[in-house]
Amino acid sequence: MEHICDLEHRRIWFHQWEYSEKFSVPFDKQPYACLIVMNLRRTSSVPYGMILIGFSLIDSNCREVVTAGFDSALWHDCIDAAVLLRNPDVTDENLIKTVWETSKLPKKFLFYFLECTCLPDGVEFNNFLVLFVGENETRKQRTISAIRKQSYL
């Protein structure tokens, strides 16, 4: 996991994730927002991996997930399923808000992730994680560059 930039009080981290890997976040159970950028087309094992990553997000106190790229609506649904499987009696305290975007990380959507995500009571996040799924080095560098440009607007 790599710290890529700061935006005022917000720290933005980047992690390239592989399906077989379990990850941990550097936020020590502090609430955070996550942007999942999917760069692979779905295979038969992906939904299972998506739900597992959903469990990891729940366990690490992620409170909002924004999905972009391939299968962003499926990521959205799998995160919601993980929340319900983990705790069927969802409340504001254990809810993970989910939002998806079908385009390839437009400036407007980065703005939403960095400026509009917040806890249910309106408190802003201090920690942000970009979870990049896939091994496309060109897209990875473009994503990091776009985030850095957005964070300095």
The whole-angstrom separation of Cα 17 and Cα 133 is 5
Which residue type does 7 have? Answer: L
**Which of 27, 28, 22, 23 is closest to 11 using CA atoms?**
27
Q: Token pair for residue 142?
A: 């473009």
Write out pLDDT tens, residues 19-64: 666 667 778 889 999 999 887 766 555 677 788 888 889 888 999 9
What band does 3 get if pLDDT is binned at 50, 70 and 90?
Answer: very high
Q: Token pair for residue 11?
A: 């720290």
The pLDDT assigned to 13 comes to 93
User: Which residue has tokens 């809810």?
Assistant: 95
Instruction: Give the chain's mean pLDDT.
Output: 83
The whole-angstrom separation of Cα 31 and Cα 118 is 10
Write out pLDDT tens, residues 96-109: 898 888 666 567 67
Q: What is the pTM for the complete model shown?
A: 0.88
Q: Token pair for residue 31?
A: 């609430």
Give the domains, in start order, of the chain with CATH numbers: 2-19+29-151 (3.90.190)
**Which of 75, 113, 121, 73 is closest to 95 using CA atoms?**
121
